[in-house]
């Protein structure tokens, strides 16, 4: 595979498939110096025209160039809209982005296979995710596909937000967009129910998706209703159509979080998951909420590493047994 987009020629050797998306497939890969990367390539089985493939790859790369780097955002190094893949002696065209390799995969895989995350661990990961979102929102950019699958974990289990192909700049639109994209289970109700010619607040839609992500981290599943008291919360109120992610909890378990989540955590979740986007917090309000701002993070890096490493090891052991 040849990457000459930035004026230099580089060959990558593809290894394992490490992820699937609606339009792309992600491989682990090494360059000629055995440095490891993730190659995000447009899926050929989708039947996109070559010009569309090139546009999709180039758009995400340019978006990442515009946004810049943040410690909790997956790095993009280069792209090749018109690359070449050599496979079994044959040459094929391929469009791809070259990204940071996150050794421990997605947060989705860990939760699916090992269950909910204890509150203090989830809070630390959520803080890193919120820091990335604050960085995006400060530039009037919304992600529009925040979810566990797009939260990657590096070798030390630091959270890295990925997949900016659905993102939109709101700089010239007063925060509004009509870009109806995302994953149904995580999608804000105003996006899911968007009518032709309508728009929605992209930043507040991100907040809802971030709330769903936190909810599944804490519960391991998606309850049909968040609290008895808050009837305006919309968790589970729309049909779930995405098979790849968590299923809804059973009806009798819909209030299970009250048994073990702190009142402050429950309050923040309820606030983020309001049906009315005007009633949701902005990202700065989330970061200043007592559940985040008044917590102690001393020693949390090692605690998170130990817990998540044990979960990864248990997954590996199950595969080998």
Give the pair of three-digit tokens for residue 36.
């490891």
- Which of the residues are catalytic? 145
44 is in an annotated binding site: yes
Question: If you search the block for the tokens 């998540």, which residue do you land on?
Answer: 308
Q: Report, in this order, helix, strand and coil percent for the chain, each rounded to 5.
A: 40, 20, 40
Cα separation, 226 vs 233, whole angstroms: 6
Cα separation, 69 vs 139, whole angstroms: 12
- Strand 2-3 and strand 10-11: the pairing is antiparallel
Cα separation, 315 vs 321, whole angstroms: 10
Give the pair of three-digit tokens for residue 252.
């009798």
Cα separation, 211 vs 297, whole angstroms: 21
Residues tagged in the binding site annotation for ATP: 44
Residues tagged in the binding site annotation: 44
């Amino acid at each position: 595979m040849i990457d000459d987009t930035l004026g230099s020629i580089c060959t990558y050797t593809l290894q394992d498939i490490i992820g699937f998306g609606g339009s792309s497939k992600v491989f682990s890969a090494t360059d000629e110096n055995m440095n490891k990367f993730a190659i995000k390539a447009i899926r050929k089985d989708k039947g996109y025209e070559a010009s569309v493939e090139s546009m999709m790859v180039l758009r995400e790369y340019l978006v990442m160039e515009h946004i810049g780097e943040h410690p909790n955002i997956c790095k993009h190094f280069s792209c090749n809209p018109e690359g070449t893949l050599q496979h079994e002696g044959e040459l094929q065209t391929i469009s791809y982005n070259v990204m940071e390799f996150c050794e421990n995969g997605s947060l989705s895989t860990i939760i699916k296979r090992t269950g909910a995350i204890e509150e203090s661990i989830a809070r630390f990961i959520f803080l890193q995710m919120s820091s990335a979102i604050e960085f995006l929102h400060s530039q009037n950019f919304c992600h529009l596909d925040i979810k566990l699958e797009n939260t990657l974990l590096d070798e030390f289990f630091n959270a890295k937000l990925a997949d900016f192909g659905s993102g939109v700049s709101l700089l010239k639109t007063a925060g509004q967009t009509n870009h109806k994209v995302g994953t149904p289970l995580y999608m804000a109700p105003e996006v899911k129910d968007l009518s032709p010619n309508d728009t929605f607040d992209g930043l507040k839609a991100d907040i809802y998706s971030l709330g769903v992500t936190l909810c599944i981290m804490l519960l391991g599943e998606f309850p049909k209703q968040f609290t008895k008291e808050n009837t305006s919360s919309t968790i589970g109120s729309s049909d779930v159509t995405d098979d790849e992610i968590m299923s809804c909890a059973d009806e009798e378990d819909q209030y299970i979080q009250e048994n073990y989540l702190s009142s402050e955590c429950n309050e923040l979740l309820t606030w983020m998951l309001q049906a009315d986007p005007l009633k949701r917090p902005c990202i700065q309000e989330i970061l200043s909420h007592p559940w985040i701002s008044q917590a102690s993070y001393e020693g949390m890096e090692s605690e998170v590493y130990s817990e998540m490493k044990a979960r990864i090891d248990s997954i590996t052991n199950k595969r080998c047994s």
